[in-house]
């Protein structure tokens, strides 16, 4: 059974309609080469279904986020980015000064999630995270001033 067939079954089981627009949003997400903005998803969907509205895209994204098959991350540039949950989860370090982005492995935040749950009983959803700070080069530049 393909993952799309499984997703269709999961959507139906939760009482969600499977409209052509919703399936086009899923296809745009699954075939994106990484992160994608809602406006970019809308542009792709409109190639096949010109009258779709941005609210349809956001409603579908919210359903998929609730199902935890899509992540939403705010990278500090305004519009959030979305990504189909990859097998290898990752997170981002974003420099406040030069806006450089470095990808880090999930293991660092997985440990944080475990520590939070052990300390408080709260289970955080740490699927795709952006951490802001200063990169090594910008720290060096500030020290040299």
What are the tens digits of pLDDT across the range 15-70? Answer: 888 888 888 998 898 888 878 999 999 999 999 999 999 999 999 999 998 888 88
Q: How confident is the model at residue 105 (pLDDT cuts 50, 70, 90)?
A: confident
CA distance 57 to 25: 6
Query: Which pTM does this prediction carry?
Result: 0.70
Task: Return the closest-CA partner of residue 73 out of 33, 113, 130, 123.
Answer: 130
The whole-number average pLDDT for the span 75-79 is 79
Residues 81, 94 within the same domain: no
Domain end marker among 85, 115, 134: 85
Domain assignment of residue 27, given as a range: 1-85
Question: Do 113 and 132 share a structural domain?
Answer: yes
* Reported confidence tier of residue 1, pLDDT bands at 50, 70, 90: very low
Same domain, yes or no, for 78 and 17?
Answer: yes
* CA distance linking residue 45 with residue 50, whole number of Å: 7
Residue among 75, 74, 103 at smallest CA distance from 89? 103
The pair of three-digit structure tokens given for residue 76, joined into one six-digit string: 């500090």
Regarding predicted confidence, which is higher, 3 or 145?
A: 145
């Amino acid at each position: 059974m393909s993952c799309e067939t499984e997703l269709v079954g999961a959507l139906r089981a939760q009482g969600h309609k499977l409209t052509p627009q919703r399936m086009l949003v899923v296809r745009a997400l699954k075939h994106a080469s990484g992160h994608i903005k809602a406006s970019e998803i809308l542009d792709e969907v409109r190639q096949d279904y010109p009258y779709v509205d941005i609210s349809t895209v956001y409603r579908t994204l919210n359903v998929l986020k609730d199902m935890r098959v899509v992540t939403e991350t705010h990278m500090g540039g305004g519009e959030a980015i979305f990504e189909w949950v990859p097998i290898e989860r990752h997170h981002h370090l974003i420099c406040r000064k030069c806006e450089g982005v470095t990808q880090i492995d999930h293991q660092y935040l997985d440990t944080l999630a475990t520590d939070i749950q052990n300390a408080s009983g709260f289970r955080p959803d740490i699927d795709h995270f952006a951490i802001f700070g200063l990169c090594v080069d910008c720290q060096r530049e500030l020290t040299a001033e």
